[in-house]
Amino acid sequence: MLSKQDNELMCRTGPGTPMGDAMRRFWIPVMQLNDLPRPGGDPKAIELLGERFIAWRDDRGRSGLYAEACLHRGASMQLARAEGDGLRCIYHGWKFAVDGTVLETPNVADPKFKSRIKGRTFPVRESGGLLWAYLGPKGKEPAFPEWEFMKQPDAHRINAYAVVNCNYVQVIEGLVDSSHLTVLHSSILAKTNDEQDFDFAKKTTHMQFDATPVIEADETDFGFHYVAIRSLGDQRMARIASFIAPCFIANANGDVMLLIVPVNDHRCNFFHIWWDADKRVGEDPLRTQQLTFVGLDEPTLVKFGMTPETCDGPAAMSWKNGYGQDREQQRIGHFTGLHTFTQEDAGCSISSGPIRDRSQEMLSSADVAITQLYRSLLACARAARDGGDIPALHAEVGRVIGISGEIGPEENWRGLVPHHRIVSSAQANSKARSAVTN
Ligand code: FES
Ligand SMILES: [Fe+2]
């Protein structure tokens, strides 16, 4: 449970908010590289953390992210002309390169004027199929993360994303909430027994057999990790997922990273990245097979209003259309009547409101990781608000993993992640809960 005040502090990421300031201190994904304009193409407007930006590639292929407002008198750079080596504002013709160099100021007589000013652009990187940006104070960007998926060629990586119409924290909560898998996704997990023969299905099938996993969490230098331990006869299966501040999850399957980036306070981009060093998962048939299985294929995303083009339309999952739930399917045996993983998760996340009221919840022993999530996020927001060091900002995140494995009756699950640096442990819900309010 959180006070309304803490809930606001944690959820709001617009300009000038403490959590927004904290997030802007990290490298965050802006968009998939596939969605960037072609070299020299038309500039593209995007929204991120409640602000609008313009993404563009110059004719040499260099990517750039511009603040929407022109440096001169604020006309939108969405209207700008694409002119090879820079974008030219159509109002008075000031022209800016992707690195902010001012190339021309045609309405100013002094030829040296342009060399004294700098356009409003942000540092960007291209990695792992994504465009990343640093939106914080100049010159203070942290080391760029180096995750395994970034080392894979395109053919060995799947990039996909869904637009989800609720606050980003609600989506992250679902990703550190192992106990819902056995219930919400029960129909899909049952299907994975015999119908599905690919890795994702194999890695999740055991979860249908124990609805009350033991959950424990540790605060770490990068955020936290948590375990869900399920019993299968005399076996114990441990699934460890890591939350990497400010909004990333290394999934327990070990080959999926999930990046949840606020578009604004009521909407987020939910980026998925799978990789496989051996298999060409980025190519068909594996790519389509995987995306269809989890509900991230284009036709399904369009049907449920989870693309940029459809997320404001009538198909977008909402109380008005019953979240697209198929009651007939439910009557004939599907547990939820929602399409598959992505829609089942989104239905629950969206249905609790644009920003869920956490002063009205009843956490249980199943929610240890949820409490730890609040604690990690609030620590970032409070540090930004109070001028302290942002936790996790300088952690070595490249070594952080999610992992699943069998453990012996007395074996400590932390042996699966010996390289994670633990700051403190939260093994009992009451302890974790009081830690949030302290
Ligand atoms: S507002 Fe852009 S050049 Fe004047
Ligand atoms: Fe889920």
Per the model's pLDDT, the better-predicted residue between 196 and 64 turns out to be 64
User: Quick check: 431 pLDDT over 50?
Assistant: no
Residue of 68, 70, 95, 120 to mutate, ligand 1, most atoms within 8 A of C-beta: 70
DSSP letter string over 39-70? Answer: TT---EEEEETTEEEEEEE-TT--EEEEESB-
- How far apart CA 14 and CA 119 sit, in angstroms, is 22
- How far apart CA 282 and CA 156 sit, in angstroms, is 5
**Best CA proximity match to 398, nearest among 38, 214, 143, 30:** 143
Q: What was the pLDDT predicted at 434?
A: 38
pLDDT digits (tens, 9 = 90+) for 176-219: 998 899 899 999 888 765 555 556 555 666 666 677 889 999 99
Lowest mean pLDDT among 142-146, 169-173, 230-234: 230-234
Give the distance (Å) from ligand 2 centre to CA of residue 190: 14
Q: How far is CA 233 from the centre of its chain?
A: 35
Query: With contact defined as beta carbons under 8 Å apart, do 221 and 369 qualify?
Result: no
Q: Which two tokens mark 286? A: 């594996």
Q: What was the pLDDT predicted at 196?
A: 54
User: Quick check: 58 pLDDT over 60?
Assistant: yes
Q: What was the pLDDT predicted at 430?
A: 37
By DSSP bridging, strand 81-82 and strand 87-88 are antiparallel
Place of tokens 């006869």: 233
Give the distance (Å) from ligand 1 centre to CA of residue 74: 6
Give the distance (Å) from ligand 1 centre to CA of residue 131: 26
Q: What was the pLDDT predicted at 428?
A: 42
Give the distance (Å) from ligand 2 centre to CA of residue 324: 17
Please report the atom of ligand 1 found closest to the CA of residue 107. Answer: 3
Give the distance (Å) from ligand 1 centre to CA of residue 41: 20
Q: What was the pLDDT predicted at 429?
A: 40
User: Quick check: 91 pLDDT over 60?
Assistant: yes
- How far apart CA 139 and CA 264 sit, in angstroms, is 25
> Facing residues of 56 across strands?
64
- How far apart CA 274 and CA 290 sit, in angstroms, is 9
> Facing residues of 132 across strands?
29, 125
Measured from the alpha carbon of residue 294, the closest ligand is 2
Measured from the alpha carbon of residue 90, the closest ligand is 1
Residue 427: how many CA atoms within 13 Å on its side-chain side? 6
User: Quick check: 149 pLDDT over 50?
Assistant: yes
Q: What was the pLDDT predicted at 438?
A: 32
Whose alpha carbon is nearest atom 3 of ligand 1?
A: 92
How much is the mean pLDDT over the chain? 93
Once rounded to an integer, what is the mean pLDDT over residues 406-428? 87
Q: How far is CA 132 from the centre of its chain?
A: 12
Give the distance (Å) from ligand 2 centre to CA of residue 91: 48
pLDDT digits (tens, 9 = 90+) for 99-109: 999 999 999 99
Q: What was the pLDDT predicted at 303?
A: 98
Evaluated on CA atoms 146, 152, 156, 160, the torsion sign reads positive
Residue 233's pLDDT band (boundaries 50, 70, 90)?
confident
Task: Provide the strand spans (E) within 68-153.
Answer: 81-82, 87-88, 95-96, 102-104, 121-122, 124-127, 130-134
Once rounded to an integer, what is the mean pLDDT over residues 67-85? 98
Give the distance (Å) from ligand 1 centre to CA of residue 117: 14
Place of tokens 């919840």: 361
Q: What was the pLDDT predicted at 200?
A: 59
First-to-last C-alpha distance (Å) of the chain: 13
Whose alpha carbon is nearest atom 1 of ligand 1?
A: 73
- How far apart CA 262 and CA 170 sit, in angstroms, is 11
- For residue 38, count other CB atoms closer than 10 A to its CB: 9
pLDDT digits (tens, 9 = 90+) for 358-407: 999 999 989 999 999 999 999 999 999 999 999 999 999 999 999 999 99
- How far apart CA 272 and CA 306 sit, in angstroms, is 14
Q: What was the pLDDT predicted at 432?
A: 40
pLDDT digits (tens, 9 = 90+) for 243-297: 999 999 999 999 999 999 999 999 999 999 999 999 999 999 999 999 999 999 9
**Best CA proximity match to 396, nearest among 423, 424, 425, 421:** 421
Please report the atom of ligand 1 found closest to the CA of residue 89. Answer: 2
| φ/ψ of residue 192, rounded to 5 | -70, -15
Using a pLDDT cut of 90, give the percent of the chain over it. Answer: 87
Once rounded to an integer, what is the mean pLDDT over residues 41-63? 98
Residue of 79, 87, 89, 105 to mutate, ligand 1, most atoms within 8 A of C-beta: 89
Query: With contact defined as beta carbons under 8 Å apart, do 268 and 427 qualify?
Result: no
Q: What was the pLDDT predicted at 409?
A: 87
- In the structure, which protein residues have their CB atom closer than 6 angstroms to any atom of ligand 1? 70, 72-75, 89, 91-94
